[in-house]
Amino acid sequence: MNASDLPGTPFLAYRDRHLFIEQLRLQDLAVMHGTPLFVYSKASMLHALSAYQRAFAGRKAKVHYAMKANSSLGVLQVFARAGCGFDIVSAGELARVQAAGGKAADVIFSGVGKTREEMRLALQAGIACFNVESETELDVLNAVALSLGKTAPVSIRVNPNVDPKTHPYISTGLKGNKFGIAHERTLQAYKHAASLPGLKVTGIDCHIGSQITTTGPYLDALDKVLDLVEQIESAGIPLHHLDFGGGLGINYNGDTPPTADALWARLLARLDERGFGDRQLMIEPGRSLVGNAGVCLTEVQFLKPGEQKNFCIIDAAMNDLPRPAMYEAFHQIVPLTLTSEAGKVYDVVGPVCESGDWIGRDRTLNVQSGDKLAVLSAGAYCMSMSSNYNTRGRAAEVLVDGDKAHLIRTRETVSDQMRGETVL
Ligand SMILES: *Cc1c(COP(=O)(O)O)cnc(C)c1O
């Protein structure tokens, strides 16, 4: 194992056999804060963001971080200070943006099931735009806005029926998905939106899926969206902004997604060709901004030899790292300190009472009880999806900035978990 085998970020590397994130040794952080522990690199997040910023230099464009990927306040603050807006999917996320120092005016609100109360809260806060996902939602949002004496800025999320060639649970732009309004119904939906006095049509939106590793699906979706823009504008409904969603993949296991700047060089060229290059653009990346910036540190509890399999039982589990159980996803698992001895093959599993509680299968590791490991590419869709299953507290989180470690979330206690519960 050498530095070039570690996926996705230059800020994670072995030095003299020890794994470092920026200037800090991960073994030291694990000892100081305990495990399981999420550790994020601020430089790595800003590095990922800079690829988008480079692509959009000289353009009218705004990055709205899709915060469901990692909604911890310390992480949001990094992106707010770097000038990002936010893509939210609940009123809870709006409250987080505000608590982290972000502005409601830089927020766009996506999601198929916004409640009336969430619409009210977002309208009162003055968000930038609602990404509306159904015709019924247009009517409900109109009524809520009128009841408040406000006008809701809307863009309609269109479903371009493009296959992003990713896991079925994370593809969102195909005909049988619950997301967006079908391509064929879009013009009609825009005409309806334009006729409603509580709405102001401001843009168009599309998001075709997640962990997309090729440029093709993006180009296909772009062309379909631009065809729709032409239709909608010929019907006399001007669109101020074009929002192309998120979805760019990261390297988990030798995946080779295009870099954000390479992808956008292609997409911007196409936009220019079709005469849309000077439009206000928006994007909503999540995973590609934070995924490779984080690791989850864990301690080996027991080694359990078996007839068919050897198990390496660690103190992190599916409640901390839900992606393998949910999508059979792959995370690299590496030691915090390298040794030269050969390893054994293990299934790396957590202590939760489910056979689905595995973190990695058939991994070669040279480990003993008490050794510490890092589960890589754990910055996105891990902590934000974590749960208290088996009454396990959520892990602590540390944000590293150069040679400084900031504890941005303390480890959850059992009394934290029982808060609000009563017995008869
Ligand atoms: C989840 C989501 C995103 C971000 O997706 P990533 O794959 O993490 O980039 C963007 N927009 C919408 C509407 C989403 O639901």
pLDDT confidence of residue 170: 66
DSSP 393: P
pLDDT confidence of residue 306: 87
Q: Is 84 a catalytic residue?
A: no
Q: Is the CB of 316 under 6 A from ligand 1?
A: no
Indicate the top mutation candidate among 71, 87, 167, 382 to test ligand 1's pocket, ranked by most ligand atoms within 8 A of CB: 87
Asked if residue 173 has pLDDT above 80, the reply is: no
Q: What is the per-residue pLDDT across 32-57, written as a single tens digit (0 to 9) for each?
A: 999 999 999 999 999 999 999 999 99
pLDDT confidence of residue 350: 98
Q: Is the CB of 64 under 6 A from ligand 1?
A: no
pLDDT confidence of residue 175: 72
Q: Lowest-confidence range among 70-79, 138-147, 165-174, 214-223? A: 165-174
Beta-carbon contacts of residue 133 (< 8 Å; ≥ 6 apart): 110, 111, 112, 157, 179, 180, 181
Burial of 319: CB neighbours in 10 Å, binned 0-12, 13-18, 19+: buried
Model confidence at 162, pLDDT cuts 50, 70, 90, reads: confident
CA 32 to CA 9: how far, in whole Å? 24
Cα of 244 vs centre of ligand 1, distance in Å, is 10
Mean pLDDT of 237-246: 97
**Helix, strand, coil tally for the chain in percent (to 5):** 35, 25, 40
State the closest ligand 1 atom to the C-alpha of 69, by its place in the atom list counted from 1: 8
Q: What is the per-residue pLDDT across 179-229, written as a single tens digit (0 to 9) for each?
A: 889 989 999 999 999 999 999 999 999 999 999 999 999 999 999 999 999
pLDDT confidence of residue 37: 99
Q: Is the CB of 245 under 6 A from ligand 1?
A: yes
Find tokens 């901004």 and name the residue: 289
Asked if residue 84 has pLDDT above 60, the reply is: yes
**pTM of the predicted model as reported, rounded to 2 decimal places:** 0.96
Model confidence at 1, pLDDT cuts 50, 70, 90, reads: very low
> Domains of the chain by range and CATH?
3-41+291-418 (2.40.37.10), 110-285 (3.20.20.10)
Among the listed residues 84, 129, 206, 353, the single catalytic one is: 353
Asked if residue 2 has pLDDT above 50, the reply is: no
Q: Is the CB of 66 under 6 A from ligand 1?
A: yes
Summary mean pLDDT of the chain = 95
Q: Is the CB of 257 under 6 A from ligand 1?
A: no
